[in-house]
Amino acid sequence: MSKQNIFGLIAVLFAILTTSLDAETGWYTNVQEAIRDGEIVSKLDLTGKNLTIVPQDVFKLGNLKELRLSHNPITDLPSGIGNLKYLEELLINKAELSGLPSEIGSLRNLRRLSLIQNKLSTLPSEIGSMTELEYLYVADNQLTSLPLEIGNCRKLKRLYAFNNSLSNLPPEIGALDGLLELYLSKNDLTVLPEEIGNLKSLRFLSLPANRLSDLPDSIGNLEKLQVLDSRANGLVRIPPRIGKLTNLKNVQIDKNRIISLPLEIGNLGALTTLTMSENELASLPASIGNLANLRSLDVTKNKIMRFPEEIGKLANLRKLSVDANLPEEEKMRLRNLLPNCKICFDEGKD
């Protein structure tokens, strides 16, 4: 057999093996092959194909369940997307989308919609028709608001909308009583609606780098909350009702303007991490000694010169970060009160 025939045979075998691998995993990566196989096609991955438009043939694949179009310079999503009635997952990350067609609301079976790092300034109201939606990822866009109709997405579990320009949240967000994770960092929020307290299933609430001066009292209703991150805002207080959040494990309130902590902070029996650096705290409440599971406490860059005697009750505390300018007498006192704790003065130097 000539070399030319051998190379030809190798190329054919490679093509067969590659195609069978796609068929084996269920993913098609070529539109023409997908159209050829028609109704059996349920997964199409066109990631990184340098597409500027979505091929119209894609919308002929009526049984498609998963469509991936990420890492393409696509500026427009055609109205034909509404033809894909059985679609459950749509990924268009790192593209150039500036808007979505109203027909996207026809995707009644969609469970996951990911549009991270595009140029979206709004979401269509029709998104509220996606009543099966569980995961909505719209981070790294230019959104200034969320549609009121988002409250209809009652099955939503994760909402990632960080790094946008959101100035407010619609009260209807409170209807998302199955929501587990809400990520809103790096927006322009100045206030949270009281209805946020209706998110009874919420575990993670991320709010860093907004312009919040207060947290609503209703936050005390988030009884399943485990992580509260509100760093780098303008908070001047923590609502006393935070003491009702007995499942909280991690609280980060660094880089705010908080002058005191409520006594109720001592009710957070599950808390393991509490960071409050760069605030205006002059003291800590004696109730801090009730945080039996606390392992890490950071109060650097505040105005605290003396700690309450009750801090010595924190038997599980393993790391305490405080300012280096504490009086030597107070440093010695802390070492005596917390003999099993690593005490870091300022930048981790003991």
List, for residues 124-141, the tens digit of each pLDDT value.
Answer: 999 999 999 999 999 999
Residue 263 lies in a domain: yes
Instruction: Look up residue 34 and give its two tokens.
Output: 């997908």
| Residue 298 β-bridge partners | 275, 321
112 pLDDT exceeds 60? yes
pLDDT in tens, 272-288: 999 999 999 999 999 99
The amino acid sitting at 350 is D
pLDDT in tens, 242-278: 999 999 999 999 999 999 999 999 999 999 999 999 9
3 pLDDT exceeds 90? no
C-alpha span between 95 and 104 (Å, rounded): 17
CATH of the domain at 312: 3.80.10.10
Q: What percent of the chain has pLDDT over 90?
A: 90
Q: What percent of the chain has pLDDT over 70?
A: 92
pLDDT, residue 25, reads: 76
The arithmetic mean of pLDDT across residues 47-58, rounded, is: 97
The amino acid sitting at 312 is G
Rg (the chain; Cα; Å): 26
Residue 270 lies in a domain: yes
Backbone region of residue 231 per phi and psi (left: phi > 0; alpha: psi in -120 to 50; beta: other values): beta
115 pLDDT exceeds 90? yes
Residue 280 lies in a domain: yes
CA 316 centroid distance within chain: 29
pLDDT in tens, 163-198: 999 999 999 999 999 999 999 999 999 999 999 999
CB count in 10 Å sphere of residue 2: 7
pLDDT, residue 74, reads: 98
pLDDT band at 24 (very low <50, low <70, confident <90, very high): low
pLDDT, residue 126, reads: 98
For 8, half-sphere exposure in the C-beta direction (CA atoms, 13 angstrom radius) is 5
Residue 327 lies in a domain: yes
C-alpha span between 118 and 95 (Å, rounded): 5
The arithmetic mean of pLDDT across residues 65-79, rounded, is: 98
Tell me what the pLDDT averaged over the chain comes to.
93
Residue 246 lies in a domain: no
Domain of 310?
251-350
Going by C-alpha positions, the residue among 284, 293, 279 that lies closest to residue 265 is 284
**Which helix H or strand E contains 68, and what residues bound it?**
strand 66-68
Going by C-alpha positions, the residue among 300, 307, 260, 296 that lies closest to residue 278 is 300
8 pLDDT exceeds 60? no
Extended strands (E) in 157-219: 158-160, 181-183, 204-206
Strand pairing class (66-68; 227-229): unpaired
Cβ within 8 Å of residue 217, ≥6 positions away: 194, 197, 239, 241
- The domain tally of the chain equals 1
CB count in 10 Å sphere of residue 350: 9
C-alpha span between 228 and 122 (Å, rounded): 27
Contact 69, 52 (CB under 8 A): no
Residue 279 lies in a domain: yes
C-alpha span between 253 and 263 (Å, rounded): 16
13 pLDDT exceeds 60? no
Residue 5 lies in a domain: no
The arithmetic mean of pLDDT across residues 214-229, rounded, is: 98
Residue 299 lies in a domain: yes
Break the chain down into helix, strand, coil percent, rounded to 5: 30, 15, 55
Contact 236, 262 (CB under 8 A): no
pLDDT band at 1 (very low <50, low <70, confident <90, very high): low
350 pLDDT exceeds 90? no
